[in-house]
A and B are shown apart, each in its own frame.
Chain A
């Protein structure tokens, strides 16, 4: 018997926007329960990589395997695959015309066909987990940035995803609100959620990641245990990037 396939496997993944070659052949495997932090300078293709994993971007080459299933195959049911992959965006992207409860139930009801009562029970459970149960009837515009991002995480969790993608989830937040969001992400990691996290929070990456991946110019330059990539980087570009980050 083969061992179980990784949760996420990228094989020679390429993405071009016209002439712009943004991902130049990425190979990466993420095991179940593993937390991978993706770091790298702005414009290196981190968001594009993440958005390929749930096919918000269409790769121009290579393969993406989710639990061993090639989701670039023409007959792949993307809507079904996406329900298994939660995504959290830099700009939160909560639905402003819906209150918190409806933000959390609409996809449960319309996609997973859960009954309103079951969806609401689930919504309450995940809201309690991000410590925002008292905001259940508020509209997103009345919440702070940190609260909005925690609701966005709860919205993804309400779908019972098998894995989560975070694209600079704290970059749009005021510094004093970053901690509350990182705490939620860390608690997910402790519960064994499979996660691919794009972040500029090096301290967080060092404490939470099982694997750190440094990208530059559409390629993986260096990857491995956080202590080695962040503590003892081998490549000159990694060293330069980390120096710049710590100088901030």
Chain B
């Protein structure tokens, strides 16, 4: 009863440290290191993954991510502008699109683009990376549309008014004044979407993969069944982290910098 609040908080903190330490010690001690090393950390298998894991799998993952994100950005910007348009049918169409593709699992959308579209409309998306990139762009576009719209709405109305008062058309003011400011605001959430998209490339296996389109996850799973060993999955996980960690660090840095920026 004589404990001060601060003293009690301190004791609780030490208790949490001790419990965590105990848990980690137990996990390390209880781990079957020999089996683990055999099944997941086999150095020979690991080394044999190179250079394919980088020059094919990681490269394809990055290509799909780049194409999907670029397409998604263009689509998202278009949808955001439609959502903010005074023309009601534009707003409705954009809202419908956004709700549908945010509501569907990405996997389903990919299957729809890859299989249903060709059968229903007799159109096959051209290009090695075409179908996968398009499917990713369609999904990402729906998410980015809402992010971009929020960014545009966060720009004070006075900016548009000042631009219009100087004789700029609405479109010119959007392009030169509002959208550049909107993108500064949404750079952190935009980068988050990029990381999510990068991970969603692992869903593209449902389209069937060739040597040309194989991405990291599928590459890892194939290697697992070839070698009867889990090491490739660990390798793939490391490659993902090597790509995503700088990105998420960049987001954190951008957010910090934005908090400091005086308006």
A-side residues, CB < 8 A to B, are 54, 56, 79-80, 82-83, 85-87, 89, 91, 93-97, 106-107, 110-112, 141, 152, 155-156, 159
Closest 4 CB pairs of A and B: A83-B167, A107-B166, A93-B162, A93-B158
Q: How many A-B residue pairs have CB under 8 A?
A: 62
**Which residues of chain B are within 8 angstroms of A110 by Cβ–Cβ distance?**
168, 172, 176
Q: In the complex, A96→B181 CA distance in Å?
A: 8
Check B88 for interface membership: any CB of A closer than 8 A: no
Contact call A107/B181, Cβ cutoff below 8 A: no
Interface positions, chain B 144-183, Cβ under 8 Å from A, are 156, 158-159, 161-169, 172, 176-177, 180-181
Task: Tell which of A91, A97, A141, A159 touches B166, judged by Cβ atoms closer than 8 Å.
Answer: A159
Q: Is the interface of B mostly helix, strand, loop or mixed?
A: helix
Contact call B165/A82, Cβ cutoff below 8 A: yes
Interface centre among B165, B168, B177, B181 (most CB of A within 10 A): B165
26 contacts between A and B (CB under 8 A): A54-B165, A56-B161, A79-B168, A83-B167, A85-B165, A89-B161, A89-B162, A93-B156, A93-B161, A94-B162, A95-B162, A95-B163, A96-B181, A96-B263, A107-B163, A107-B167, A107-B168, A110-B172, A111-B166, A111-B167, A111-B168, A141-B263, A155-B166, A156-B165, A156-B166, A159-B166
**Which residues of chain B are within 8 angstroms of A79 by Cβ–Cβ distance?**
167-169
The residue on A at minimum CB distance from B261 is A141
Q: Return B89 CB to nearest CB of chain A, in Å.
A: 22
**Which residues of chain A are within 8 angstroms of B30 by Cβ–Cβ distance?**
none
Check B184 for interface membership: any CB of A closer than 8 A: yes
Task: Tell which of A56, A80, A94, A152 touches B164, judged by Cβ atoms closer than 8 Å.
Answer: A56
Interface string of B115-139 (1 = CB under 8 A from A): 0000000000000000000000000
Interface positions, chain B 48-96, Cβ under 8 Å from A, are none
Q: In the complex, A29→B222 CA distance in Å?
A: 81
Q: In the complex, A54→B53 CA distance in Å?
A: 62
**Which residues of chain B are within 8 angstroms of A159 by Cβ–Cβ distance?**
166-167
Contact call B167/A82, Cβ cutoff below 8 A: yes
**Which residues of chain A are within 8 angstroms of B162 by Cβ–Cβ distance?**
87, 89, 93-95, 152
**Which residues of chain A are within 8 angstroms of B156 by Cβ–Cβ distance?**
91, 93
**Which residues of chain A are within 8 angstroms of B163 by Cβ–Cβ distance?**
95, 107
Q: In the complex, A93→B156 CA distance in Å?
A: 9
Q: In the complex, A56→B168 CA distance in Å?
A: 12
Would A111 and B263 be within 8 Å (CB), given that A82-B167, A93-B161, A95-B159 are in contact?
no
Contact call A89/B158, Cβ cutoff below 8 A: yes
Q: Return B172 CB to nearest CB of chain A, in Å.
A: 6
Q: In the complex, A159→B163 CA distance in Å?
A: 12
**Which residues of chain B are within 8 angstroms of A95 by Cβ–Cβ distance?**
159, 162-163, 177, 181
**Which residues of chain A are within 8 angstroms of B263 by Cβ–Cβ distance?**
96, 141
The residue on B at minimum CB distance from A79 is B167
Check B262 for interface membership: any CB of A closer than 8 A: yes
Extra pairs beyond A106-B177, A107-B163, A156-B165 (18, CB < 8 Å): A79-B169, A82-B164, A83-B167, A87-B162, A87-B165, A89-B158, A89-B162, A91-B158, A94-B162, A95-B181, A96-B263, A97-B180, A97-B184, A106-B176, A107-B166, A110-B172, A141-B261, A155-B166
The residue on B at minimum CB distance from A106 is B176
Q: In the complex, A197→B168 CA distance in Å?
A: 23
Task: Tell which of B159, B172, B180, B184 touches A93, judged by Cβ atoms closer than 8 Å.
Answer: B159
Q: Return A194 CB to nearest CB of chain B, in Å.
A: 16
Q: In the complex, A83→B261 CA distance in Å?
A: 33
Q: In the complex, A96→B159 CA distance in Å?
A: 9
